[in-house]
A and B are shown apart, each in its own frame.
Chain A
Amino acid sequence: MDSVTLTAPVRRLKGFLSRNAVVLLLFLIVLAMSGFGAMVSKGFLSLDHVGAILRTASFLGIVAIGQTLIILTGGIDLSVGPIITMGNVFVCMFMNGVDANNPWSFAAILLLGLAFGAANGLGVTYLRISPLVMTLAVGSLVTGITLIFSHGAPKGLASPLLREIGVGNLLGSVPIIVVIWAACSAAVILLLATTTFGRNLYYVGANLRAASLSGVRIPLVTVTAYALSGAAAVLAGTLMAGYTRTAFLGIGREYTMWSIAAVVIGGTSLTGGKGGYAGSIAGTIVLVLMQSILTVMNMPEAGRRIAEGLIILVMITVYFRKPRRR
């Protein structure tokens, strides 16, 4: 291949394509799946149904924001599930169905998410505990706290405002939740691409020692990343409360593993330093689409889980092949 004959714009296009191959591939898969879904069920691509799919994707997508940040630093966050549940349960308790409680409820719940997230970060940085186990422990703590304060039976209701956010639409058919997700997505992508904090995340994930020897404030970056993950999780839990009106224990349980799957399928490397949120968006949509297709196919729960597991396996074969030793 003679580079002389390739003009500059073509070369730039090739560069763009190869760098973002994963995300582009995923969007192709999304298209394929949507097509398949449309074949299986007539109303699949209707505005309403797409809106519903996107709303579900928003919950996962918001959680995936935090998970993406953490995995970029080379860590992992197993506490998102419990923190989602905590957000869900506590926000209903705080609000008690009354709009007057809104300001301090939102503030308090955000604070809780940030605090427990920060706890993760502090343990990882200062106690030198591996993120896998630290977030596991904090998750257990959070589960206990949620159970204790709700006495095992969540009470309370989402406020009317939250309810409106949860089920309402903008411009007729765009769920407000999706708009919120879109705004958050833009913010995260901007954060990673253009801010020093975002750049520092990559440094920490790529080579922790070199980062500390280059003047990166490791504790600050780490604790902030984990705190943001906690905040994202409570946000998701709060929005879910808006959607379902009451709280449910265990509402967040599946999201831990799903958020990891979404991030990994999106191309972010588990060892850190490589990837980004755009891929996680695509990964989220793929996973939610998959669930949706299985639902309209009326798969019983058992079959659904099997299919989901298999599909994840198939997807990782697409671009996870490690070079075989020669």
Chain B
Amino acid sequence: MTEQVPLLELRNIAKSFDGTRAVNGVDFSCLRGEIHGLVGENGAGKSTLMKVAAGIHVPESGKILVGGRECRLRSYLDARREGIGVVYQELSLLPELSVAENIVMGIWPRGRGGLIDWKAAKERSRSALTSIGSEVDPDTLVASLPMAARQMVEIAKVLSQKPELIIFDEPTAPLSSDEVAILFDIFRDLKSRGKGIVFISHRLDEVLAISDRITVMKDGLRVVTDSCAAFDEGKLISSMVGRQFSEIFPPKGGRAREGSPLFSFDGVLSRFGRRVAFDVGRGEVLGLGGLQGQGQLELLQSIFGLGGCERQSVRIHGASVSVGSPIRAMRQGIALVPENRNEEGVFLILSVLQNLSACTVSRRQRMGFIRPRAEREAVEEMVKRLSIRIASTRQTASLLSGGNMQKLVIGKWLIFNPRVIVLLEPTKGVDVATKQEIYRLIRELAERNVAVIMNTSDMLELIGVCDRVLIMNRGMLTASLEGPAITEENIMKASVSRTDILTAGDRP
């Protein structure tokens, strides 16, 4: 094996926050033309380690070497000068400005008289975008672009600063499998141009698919680094968690859907003009899959009264109910766990108690006054049931980890005691241990005869958790897969199929 000087080398890096060691003497390296996957639970230290490389955090000890040369990275500017670029999970785009402006932000091309030359800016952006195969028009406002397109703009922005090493932090979370494939094409292209890529992700299947080498971190330490071929998902998980792979997904419901359905939906998707209808049976976890943006979100939001479908008819336990607004949906016992917990689910500046109480305050009131003991009991019980690790329920929610925050959102709906629960991306940005707990909860809910409907872009999750999966394409239901028929291949086939199973007859 030829001795190559690594593009980036981190030696014995240590970094603490408030007395806790986030990174504890870690070595890491990335070579030219390498895609290096970095995995680990939340809190394992991978983000912190990469932020050291990006100049955001200054390590207490250890060396950083770029191209074999020792560097001091005091700020993000230093890192950028050394050729290190980062694509963050929270994109650094300004939605109110155009694509072109975002890409040239801070490095505007000047024309006559020192004024900004917008034509040149557009040209520069256009070439940056086409170099990654994106056809986004530079004049478009970022605010009107869907998530995947925005990510392309972000990547173009980072690439236009001509980095040698690019760190991607959870880039595939908002993408469908099609879009992930495009992203991986970009990775391969960058790799062929001799760049180095660090790919941080919770999606182990994807990491295994694209990386050359993989590093696993746990509790601030590097557990193992090896070539990708030496790993499989099971080994990765057990290195990350110290537990066996098979325990990740709880056993599925054995019962066939006996008796009358818990929940029935029939409606026409406004955007596509197509009719969708399905039932959810007892003890069944129903998943909604397919490529992103095919109507799944509209469908599920409409169940919660947020609009998206017309002429809809919803039946719970056989009785017809009207769900014109979230409040009316809640009155029928319908719950919705939204996709973006920070913006839509958690009250960051309020306490854990206030968060968990949010959906049910009016239930524990007497003539307008809250009953404090009842509230405290309900909340403490939920904290225990969900094993949320906090010092006290008065703690501010923003101090919790992503996984614990997700538990707050789910918890407030569990206290609500719904008859139907809709979950949108329930484990987005959540570490493996918490994912497991959430899967267990979902199964528990189904067994208690709560109609569970979930939408996830994580294929493994769809396959592992759901008893039945409905695939949507262009607003139509293209397949209803059950039991052993839920395979990656069948899902992919259905995702691109143009057959509407409703016209064929049976209601899924």
Contacts and interface: CB of A to CB of B under 8 A. Distances in A.
B45 interface: no
Contact of A210 (B346, B370, B394): B346
Given A196-B365, A203-B358, A206-B348, A213 B370 contact: no
Interface string A194-212: 1111011011001101111
Nearest to B306: A213
Contacts of B392: 15
Contact of B347 (A19, A195, A206, A215): A206
A206 B397 CA distance: 11
Interface string A214-234: 111100000000000000000
B326 interface: yes
A215 B359 contact: yes
Interface string B320-341: 0000001100100000101000
Nearest to B409: A210
Main secondary structure on chain B at its contact with chain A? mixed
Contact of B348 (A194, A207, A216, A269): A207
Contact of B362 (A196, A212, A273): A196
A195 B369 contact: yes
Residue with the highest number of chain A CB atoms closer than 10 Å, among B347, B365, B392, B412:
B347
Interface string A168-202: 00000000000000000000000000111101101
Contact of B350 (A19, A195, A213, A273): A273
B349 A195 contact: no
A274 interface: yes
B344 interface: yes
Contacts of A200: 361
B394 A213 contact: no
A199 B336 CA distance: 21
B345 A213 contact: yes
Contact of A196 (B326, B345, B370): B370
B336 A206 contact: no
Sorting the interface of chain B by its residue count into under 10, 10 to 19, 20 to 34 or 35 or more gives 20 to 34
B354 interface: yes
A195 B327 contact: no
Contacts of A212: 326
A194 B350 contact: no
A199 to B, nearest CB: 5
B336 A213 contact: yes
B344 A213 contact: yes
A274 B349 contact: yes
B368 interface: yes
B18 interface: no
B343 interface: yes
A214 B412 contact: yes
A194 B370 contact: yes
Nearest to B358: A214
Residue with the highest number of chain B CB atoms closer than 10 Å, among A194, A199, A216:
A199
Contact of B330 (A15, A195, A206, A215): A215
A54 to B, nearest CB: 29
A202 B348 CA distance: 11
Contacts of A209: 343-344
Given A197-B368, A202-B354, A210 B347 contact: yes
A199 B338 contact: no
B120 to A, nearest CB: 31
Nearest to B58: A326
A273 B359 contact: no
A290 B359 CA distance: 44
Contacts of A213: 326, 336, 338, 344-345
A210 B357 CA distance: 13
B370 A195 contact: yes
Contacts of B372: 194
B304 to A, nearest CB: 8
B270 to A, nearest CB: 20
Given A19-B394, A207-B347, 10 more contacts: A15-B392, A194-B369, A194-B372, A195-B368, A199-B361, A199-B370, A203-B347, A207-B346, A213-B344, A273-B350
20 contacts: A15-B392, A196-B365, A196-B369, A196-B370, A197-B368, A199-B357, A200-B361, A203-B347, A206-B347, A206-B350, A207-B348, A211-B358, A213-B326, A213-B336, A213-B345, A214-B412, A215-B359, A215-B362, A269-B349, A273-B350
10 shortest interchain CB distances as A-B pairs: A206-B347, A214-B358, A215-B330, A214-B359, A207-B347, A196-B365, A206-B350, A196-B361, A273-B349, A195-B368
Interface of A: 15, 19, 194-197, 199-200, 202-203, 206-207, 209-217, 269, 273-274
